[in-house]
Amino acid sequence: MNPSIRALTFDLDDTLWPFAPIGERIENALHAWFLEHSPRTAERFPIEEMRALRARVFAEFPEHAHDLGLLRRLTIERALRESGDDPALASAAYAIFFRERNHVEFYPDAQDGLRRIAARWPIAALTNGNADLAVIGIAGLFRFQLGAREYGAPKPDAGLFHEACRRLGFAPEQVMHVGDHPQMDIAGATHAGLHTCWIDRGDHAWPADLPPAELRVTTLTALADWLEAGAHSEAST
């Protein structure tokens, strides 16, 4: 391990848990809610149509690209309004989204690996998404959670990484970022001056035009092993 690594930042979706099952549950739960509480919306916007509406809303408000929760709320309001129903129902519908958004199924290695790392190094969550670590139940492992919504710009913006380093109290060259996405996580962190660890969950091929991450692992167990081995080697010298 590079002895200059004093802290780590972690991406969340597709790094600690897969997002695809969450997205599917959100769609199904929202559609079931609309069937019961706003049948006209359920009829006008079945799951495929709601997905298309969400894409249109996201494209319509690029200035809110850093706030996925707001864009989801705007999508729900638009669906209700275009169906001729009461947009005030959006609050209850959004509560269904929030519940399912934070119902995660961790990768088998994630929780144990995180606990091992957090026991020896300060860690922070750095995400473009809107997961709530307190609701999920692992906020206690992290010094803080910093999202694109809070900062005002998403990864790969270097400022998001720099703000995380500032809050951790270390220079970028003392922090390693861990994430699954080659551009958003690894290229972004590299540009910001952080060390990088690509956790390859099999979802992304590495782009030929990007330099490799400093470290590639397939599990957080492997990352914990690497960190602990480096710390032991450093302590023995």
Complete domains list, the chain, with CATH: 7-17+105-236 (3.40.50.1000), 20-101 (1.20.120.1600)
Residue-wise pLDDT for 51-61, tens only, equals 999 999 999 99
Q: How many CA atoms are closer than 13 Å to the CA of 180, on its beta-carbon side?
A: 21
Residue-wise pLDDT for 141-182, tens only, equals 999 999 999 999 999 999 999 999 999 999 999 999 999 999
Q: Which helix (H) or strand (E) holds 104?
A: none
Structure tokens, 191: 């540009």
Residues in CB range of 106: below 8 A, 6 or more apart: 16, 17
Residue-wise pLDDT for 195-232, tens only, equals 999 999 998 999 999 999 999 999 999 999 999 998 64
Predicted pLDDT at 1? 45
Q: What is the DSSP letter of 208?
A: T
> For residue 236, is pLDDT > 90?
no
CA distances from 144 to 67, 101, 124, 134, 197 (A): 18, 19, 5, 10, 20
- The helix/strand/coil state of 115 is helix
The region, left, alpha or beta by phi > 0 then psi within -120 to 50, assigned to residue 31 is alpha
Q: Residue 4 and residue 13: Cα distance in Å, rounded?
A: 27
Residue-wise pLDDT for 10-19, tens only, equals 999 999 999 9
Question: Nearest to residue 80, comparing CAs of 28, 112, 55, 43?
Answer: 43
Q: Residue 84 and residue 103: Cα distance in Å, rounded?
A: 31
- The helix/strand/coil state of 178 is strand
Q: Do 11 and 201 contact (CB within 8 A), yes or no? A: no
Q: Residue 68 and residue 38: Cα distance in Å, rounded?
A: 23
Q: Residue 190 and residue 206: Cα distance in Å, rounded?
A: 15
